[in-house]
A and B are shown apart, each in its own frame.
Chain A
């Protein structure tokens, strides 16, 4: 996957020209929203996209217990996404609800990290992604319980309890597969190998976020890294796996440059509300 350039003035002109003609249309609009709104999209989109990935396992997991686990974690994430995106929509003040943001934005307007949009692969690959993301978001939400945005703080306080469970569950499976049979160990290692290149992005901070850190709204991602690394070292030791050095990092999700996988995911997730815009459950 090649790294992508940042958005140039030329791209903006193209977007302006292409408005209403597909994915690139709302790129500029998303660029212009205030930082606080963008930060809520980053939080909400991470939860939303991973929830959709987990939902893809429904009815296909290796056992009924695992099926329930993956679907239930997805439910928690959808709950978090709804709260973050609703809050973002309210701040924006243009009448967009969480649902509108979830179903009526195109791929370039999504602000999730690349990790969560990765395909499920086999069960081990899904567990590797879940372990990395839950371990990271546990630290993030703990820090966000002290956010100066009271809504972010109270959503984080609820989410931290849910994500604690997700992180424990994923760590248990990493140990079980890593320290299991030759087959499960090989798959667990391959599952992590797919995702290592997306880890650095989780801790990236751009000017937008640093300005929010200064206001106490956002969490300082740099401060989350030691606990994340320690949790990885602990679980890998227990799973008798070796932690490899991280490969060249791929980035871009936070500014809307996504892998090809996200578009396919959105096509499935957004189909119904886009085809029948006024449909009510």
Chain B
């Protein structure tokens, strides 16, 4: 399937979103770029896939753009450009419920809902936890530790 039209229709939009559903985040491969809200959507006219960075300096941004590009090419949408947009700025509220569930299952505490500062241990569920380091293995995560089961864990920072 090759899209030659200048404007995308609903079917093409659906096909694009389906093609991107399996594009993993390069740092946390259990979640997709759709789960994280990095893909902001499809613009039909002029056609483009809109993506947004989580943090301005996130080194994964370039890899994500390339992966999205590759997935589009694979699905026959090589003529559709990938555009990066900054507004409105990405927040952790853009992470889908499915994304949150996948993070938790992977051992990463998902960001707390806005207005809550309760952090539950992804291993034992205890809320008796404390921050060890404000930054973890990636810009979007902090390092925490459970005071009950003593396991250290990554927490997706509220942003």
Instruction: Give me the interface of A with B, judged by CB distance under 8 Å.
Output: 51, 65-66, 68-69, 71-80, 82-83, 150, 154-155, 157-159, 161-162, 165, 168-169
Contact = CB atoms under 8 A, between A and B. Distances in A.
Contact of B89 (A76, A78, A80, A154): A154
Contacts of A65: 132-133, 135, 143
Nearest to A164: B159
Interface stretch (B15-23, B39-47, B55-63, B98-106): B55-63
12 contacts: A65-B133, A65-B135, A71-B135, A72-B135, A72-B139, A76-B56, A76-B139, A77-B57, A150-B87, A155-B86, A157-B87, A158-B56
Given A68-B135, A169-B134, A161 B89 contact: yes
A77 B56 CA distance: 8
B87 A79 contact: no
B10 to A, nearest CB: 29
A79 B89 contact: no
Nearest to B134: A169
Contacts of A83: 56, 86
A154 B87 contact: yes
Interface string B56-83: 1111000000000000000000000000
Given A68-B143, A72-B139, A82-B56, 7 more contacts: A75-B58, A77-B57, A79-B58, A80-B56, A150-B87, A154-B89, A162-B55
- What is the size category of the interface that chain B forms with chain A? 20 to 34
Interface string B130-153: 001111110100010000000000
Contacts of A68: 133, 135-137, 143
A25 B118 CA distance: 57
B55 A69 contact: no
Question: How would you classify the secondary structure of chain A's contact residues: helix, strand, loop or mixed?
Answer: helix
Contacts of B90: 158
A233 B125 CA distance: 39
Contacts, number: 67
Nearest to B91: A161
A59 B134 CA distance: 17
Given A65-B132, A68-B133, A75 B57 contact: yes
Question: How would you classify the secondary structure of chain B's contact residues: helix, strand, loop or mixed?
Answer: loop
B111 interface: no
A73 B56 CA distance: 11
Contacts of B89: 154, 157-158, 161
Contact of A69 (B58, B133, B157): B133
B87 A69 contact: no
A76 B135 CA distance: 12
| The 4 A-B residue pairs with the shortest CB-CB distance in the complex, in nearest-first order | A79-B57, A79-B56, A65-B133, A75-B57
Contacts of B135: 65, 68-69, 71-73
B53 interface: yes
Contact of A75 (B55, B86, B136): B55
**Most chain B C-beta atoms within 10 Å of own C-beta, residue among A72, A76, A83:** A72
Contacts of A154: 86-87, 89
Nearest to B143: A65
Nearest to B138: A72
Contacts of A76: 55-57, 139
Nearest to A71: B135
B59 A75 contact: yes
Contact of A159 (B56, B58, B59, B136): B56
A83 B52 CA distance: 13
A79 B55 CA distance: 8
Contacts of A71: 135
Contacts of A72: 135, 139
Contact of B56 (A69, A162, A169): A162
Contacts of A79: 53, 55-58
Given A79-B57, A155-B56, A165 B134 contact: yes
Nearest to A161: B159
Nearest to A165: B134
